[in-house]
Structure 1
Amino acid sequence: MAKLLLFLNAFYLGLGTFFSFYLAPLLFKVLEKEYAGRVVEKVFPVYFGLGLILGSLSLILGFRLGKWVVIVMILNLIILAFQEFYVLPISHHFKFTDYETFMRWHGISMVLNLIHLLLVFVLCIKLYLIL
């Protein structure tokens, strides 16, 4: 079970790290800001949705591995749900009405994403040590 959880979470960690630290910044370097924003705006719901699916599966499968795994997965699910269902809609709204407020929410989103990825990284280390 731990190997499957490690695989799922390592895959998501790689995907999230690649998107957050390479692909999104690259899009903003090579495309006009408006077009890059449109692309990234379409990717975020899929990215956070995939995280919710894999996080839920990890939570269900991780119950046998101890309380620590469950707590980390619950924290991750809370962060992802908050991002998907609260931060993204608010950011989208303010993007067109108040750019300064949009940038504030964008910063919040970036910090939450970093915390989420760090939690997944710590979970991967913990799962690796269990093997």
Structure 2
Amino acid sequence: MIFLLSFYFGLGAFFSYIVAPQLFKSLERATAGGIVGKIFPLYFGIGLGAVGISLLIGFTSKMSRFLLFLLLANLVILLALNFYVLPQAHALKGAASPEFTKLHLISVIMSTVSLFLTFGAIVYLIVRTKDAGS
């Protein structure tokens, strides 16, 4: 579970805070947006898989309610991003509209919250594993 969550966290942090901003600095907005638009569904899909599998492991291994809450909240956010926010933003992508700007901000906030929840779950698992070994 730690591996899955760490993989998603590292991928998300690298793409969201290094790759995507660099693409927009280096390329024309339309080109960078096209690339990012292809990668984000894959990135959020990986997040859904990692968090979903971790949640299933948590349910079957009787994890703490706190960890299950972190994972469930994360899954809800990723589902909303994948199936509600991103499709709406994609439909408006060509237009530099206030609606797109609002959806983009919502997407950034939700993605950041997802990464914080993932980081929290990783830290919880590490501390719990360390405490169990002591």
Q: Under a length normalisation based on structure 2, what TM-score does the superposition of the two structures give?
A: 0.91
Match of residue 107, structure 1, among 105, 108, 115: 105
Equivalence for 2:2: 6
Give the drift of 1:95: 2.0
Match of residue 87, structure 1, among 77, 85, 88: 85
Alignment of 1:110-125 (within 5 A): 110-125=108-123
Equivalence for 2:58: 62
Match of residue 30, structure 2, among 31, 34, 55: 34
Report the structure, 1 or 2, having the larger helix content. Answer: 1
Q: Secondary structure at the match of 2:93?
A: helix
* Structure 2: distance between partners of 1:65 and 1:8: 16
For residues 62-110 of structure 1, the C-alpha deviation after alignment (integer angstroms, 9 at most, x for no partner) is 1222111111111011000000000011111122356221011000000
40-49 or 93-102, which deviates more = 93-102
Match of residue 45, structure 1, among 38, 41, 47: 41
Equivalence for 2:73: 75
> Can you give the 5+ residue segments of structure 1 that lack an aligned partner in the other structure?
none
Percent of aligned pairs sharing the same letter: 40
Q: Which amino acid aligns with 2:88?
A: I
Greater relative CO, 1 or 2 (CA 8 Å, sep 6+): 1
Equivalence for 2:19: 23
How big is the alpha-carbon RMSD for the aligned residues of Structure 1 and Structure 2?
Answer: 1.0
> Can you give the 5+ residue segments of structure 2 that lack an aligned partner in the other structure?
130-134
Give the drift of 1:7: 1.3
* Structure 2: distance between partners of 1:12 and 1:93: 26
Q: Which amino acid aligns with 2:26?
A: V
Q: Under a length normalisation based on structure 1, what TM-score does the superposition of the two structures give?
A: 0.93
